[in-house]
Structure 1
Amino acid sequence: MNLNDKQHWLLILIDSTPHIDDKTRLQKYAFLASKMILKDESAYKDWESHNFGAYSSSLDQDVRHLEKNQLVSIHTVKTSYGQHDDYAISGKGRRIIHTFKAKHRVMADKIKRLTRYYFDKPLDELLADAYALFPEYTTKSTIRARVRNNILKRDARLRSEIVLPYTDKKIGMPSITTSAKTNPFPYNDMDLRKRLAEQAGLSGIPPIDPSAYDELSEIFADKKFLTYNNIEEIMENIRA
């Protein structure tokens, strides 16, 4: 069977983990792999902002093509929250990619490092990283507020950095704010900035200035001004 390189890499991604729980997780795995690992090597290029962040319609089509040819199995899983699809490579699919995978072992191992890192983590954590790394793909997301709250909760120190095993890029509050002018998703909540400024004892901050959150982060980074417990209390008050 003739597969193009993108389809080979998609099979390798699905094979890199015992199974992939949910279509959104599959899309985010492929998105991060395309942007952080494969890049110019037959990566999917048609990413656009969608309901749950970055989405590739051609990847969706390829998944259906692979299932039709019995290279991937898709099972519907029912839970108390509803139902979703679960993806796994078939024996036939594993045989198909054997030679290609052996030829590109280094890249395949990097993809495996990515998917295994998130395998036991909640989907919300994967979404938080994808949104933080590439906020330009969140403009049409219907869950921006939820993801933003998860980012704030996780990064209570505001200046902390998170090290990811599949990239040298560090993420945290500073890395998200660098794109605030082109996509204000994490920082367009005027009320949140106002309440945060009040909690920090400031007289006010520019209500539409994307750098406002950075200014507050600098204050929070000053251990003489706020302790870690103070920061935790402030964040809880904001989320209340």
Structure 2
Amino acid sequence: MPGAVGQLVLLASAFGYSRDQEREADRVGVILMRNAGYDPAEAANVWSNLLAEIKARPDGGEESGIPMFATHPGVDERRETLAALAKEAPGGAANADTWRERIRPFRREWLAEELKRGQHEESIALLTRMISDSPSQPDYLYARGEAYRLRAKDKDLDAALADFQAAATLGGEPPETHRALAMVYRQRSQFAEARASFQRYLEAAPAAPDSLMIQSYVEELGK
């Protein structure tokens, strides 16, 4: 589930259309969405989400640093244009529940790929939105906590710990939640809690590739 910035930059890099052509493509796209029974307002939401991720970037949201905007309308313009077009043809379904069910088998893999990008600010913005939409989904809480832990700025460990604990409280969390919890506890010198969380990770994922290393941590913390 790569963030909107990553997805759209990748797609845009393959094409070199002019800004006017992109505007026309948006107009046609809204018509096609409506004809297919989808709510065209969701097109504007895509760009709202993209804007939130861009603004979360360390550069403060400079679009000039993203190649696609050299030949594409700006995010604000595109969002406003799509919203106006959607108002001309309201209706249709967002199908959010269907979407959530369809992505469920791939969700953890996509979240892992999102974290691998190393764009922690964008990931946190994306995952905060996902948590707002699905507050009882532990996968998103774990992933955001991991983004905080990896970014490791002021108070990020506190935020990571809160997300990991919330994910564990919900139940059905990824086993890696407990490994991450243990890492945070160890950094905070809470060694008993770290050992217990490492053990819980091993119980949940006994065949994990890092099980031998984690077992060594358990033994070290037990001394």
Fold-level similarity (TM above 0.5): no
| Structure of higher RCO (CA pairs closer than 8 Å, 6+ residues apart) | 1
Return the structure number with greater strand share.
1
TM-score w.r.t. the length of structure 2 is 0.31
